[in-house]
Structure 1
Amino acid sequence: MGSLRAARRHRHRWSGPAILLFAGVLSATGCSADGPDPTGPGWPSTHGDPRNSSTSPVSGTRSPQEIWSRPLGAPTAGGIPIAPNGQLFVGADTVGGCNYFAFELATGRKRFCNRVGAGVVGAGGTVDTANNVYVGDDGAMNSFNEHGQARWRTPVMGTPLASTFTADGNLLFVTHLGQINVLDPQTGQLVLPAEDVLGTADFLNTPDLPWPANDQGLADCGSGGPACPVATAPALDVTTGRFYVAVRPPDSADAAVTAIGYADGKLVRDWTVPVLTGGTATAPALSADGRTLYLTDRAEHLLAIETGSGAVKWQQDLGYQPNGGLVVQDGLIIPPGGTDGHLVAFRDRGDHAELAWTRDDLTPLGSAAAAAGDIGYVVVAGASGDGDLRLITFDTAAGTTIDEDPMPGARGPAVGVSLGPAGEVLATTVIGEVFAYRSGS
């Protein structure tokens, strides 16, 4: 473990290229039986639910109409969570002043802005049904109420890029340096001792082992590089308490998937499989029954893993490298956009992936989102490849276009799409523009 800590020495500031790489790779959400409840209306975090499925149970609108847009004044890389009251939260890479903002979804009016650590630009945040937000920065997890007042701040090792709520109402997250934390969401206190997904260092035998810089390797997270052990957030099966982490060990060319059980106040490692060639490209996403885990690697593969054993069920060549979060809905998997990619969907047939449909005419930018009723939303490149972006509403079952809306002045790439408690659609670009839509019918 000494080599791991020693490798984490140089500090990084968020830069334009790092944000472009990092955009869309985060995922997390909230869940609880007795505490904050993510099953209420809204988009609790970057990819919508504990499974990272990028889906919402809310019925989607077939004819979105823009209600407002606004610039953040700086680039952003984290997905936008939306609270049940319609308040949304987003971080930006501002040089001075505020870098974490809250806006009203209905009007775009700013509710508050705070200054926290620079790492917040890539941390999507998670909200509960009391409209409290939980968001990481370099070296801490923070919680604010809907008015922007600090509830607590808990120091950690690394930057929490996303978080989720366990079935017993605690806040679970893994920092980009691999530290696993479970906190009481009311107080921010540790529920159990923090652990390292790569193994805890023995400071008694190596007292001179340096403590890593909390922003070390953030610039590597977007590309799943070696300086960022955990580039994406875990997917959680609330029923079993097991969560799945994509982790790249130090000095390794590839990444692995680790299954860890959380129950009875303990963390138990179940299995680890080194199956992600070149590192991880998308956050792991679970099927609705929790039996299959989907994710992609840096060698342009979409993989399906059996969650009981870690065995690979199938591997599908995509022909491009995606960046963002997967849509997993009723056996359908829609990868995010990426270099030279196009909008495409696959169906899980047990021992192989079957091409459901493909749209060679659409170049998706960032992560898509799906609502109830087989309605999907994705930001795509302009018709000429370098014009204004467009929000496409499409039929997730057939891939056909339902509606098309311009995003005036917007330029790619995009971070992704979030869905509001009444079916509102929120699209964000990496350069720091937010576009809000609601039903036009």
Structure 2
Amino acid sequence: MATVSISDPATCAGPSGPFAHVYVTITDVQAHVSSTAGDNDPGWKDLTPNLSKSPKQIDLLGQANNQCFLATLGDAQQLQAGNYQQIRLILADNGANIPNSLCTSSANCVVLTADHSVHTLQLSSESKTGIKIPSGQIASGGFNIAAGQTKDLDLDFNTCESIVLEGNGEYRLKPVLHAGEVSTTSTSINGKVLDKTTGNPVNGTVLVALEQKDAAGVDRIVMSTLAGADGSFVFCPIPAGTYDVVIVGERADGVAYQPSIVTSIANGETTGNVNLYAGVAGTLGSAALAGTVTSQNSANSGTVADIDLSALETVGTGTFTIPLVPNAQQPSAELAVETAASSSCPTGTDCVKYSMTLAAGGPYVGAFSASGVTLTQSSPLATYVVDGLAFVPGGGVVPDCSPSELKSQAYPLVSSFSLTVQTLPFTQCQ
């Protein structure tokens, strides 16, 4: 599997450089295992098949020094193992209709620092046969992908050398770039989520969380993303290490999926296709947990605190954070609340009431394997612990209260799918 990003060391950017922006519109990125393949050879592999329907306009000077984070051009795609010897980058013709283009009358342009005037960036063959990157310009001589592996391809423009001011005053793109595998500290974990029943991408919303164990051995969410319309997802860049991927979803008709968990996957690997199983327990396959959080200072008076709430579930020897069912009412994987003074609060406290909707079924769990992940349901119904982490209001991630973390008792879903959780009482808060 490969993901493609684009970057540039912005040495000629304003205010001291001549260009405020350099916009190019990319319609496709392709690769070939043969160093001699011609433009029309059928062996070219499309790395960004969705890009042709929705070309992406990139500011080469607005993406400086961020490598993988810069601009992921398309969803991660399954590629056969091999050593890809050629890469080509295809740009949109300047006459193409690009919705919301930042160029006034073309698909590609430069914006000058001096007067902010916009000038069409003229192309030669780049929109037809693509900007060629032969093996001699690819790090290690080729883009190597092994079975069950994912790597990131960073296309690195040298913008200052790539733009030529011609005698007639027009600007022309004369690409100077190379390609190569990014370092292991900027690799990705990719995959695709499918509905187990239909074998197709989910008709609804899928949230994918990347998790890693904290000092206490609890899986915490370090990144989360929504899967694309084709079910694909990518996390990039991520530090070296081993992660777990936890996936939840909701169909367009409101039916929740039971969580799917892929364990022990390292960066540089792909989950492949991961199935989601529609819930059959509870109301629309989901459960509602509601409760109250209180906070008070050392003088036993109410005080404001920021609280992050999440649902934990233990499967075997592992404890995972189960993201909230993704919908309009729950746009985030976890719930962030703030306590406040209210006549409904217990005496001497500030408080906040909360409710979270979670999958009712137990998760399907499987360890990563390059040959494919086999998922097995841990239990028919979930058992949740509500976890609260207190932070100083406006302090970002500065812990507050003593202790700064409180957990509820475990709540198994047996006959009721609407549970009231015990109060989490934070004390000794600032």
Asked if these proteins are the same fold (TM beyond 0.5), I'd say no
Structure with larger Rg: 2
Name which structure has the greater RCO, CA cutoff 8 Å, separation 6+: 1
- TM class by shorter chain equals under 0.3
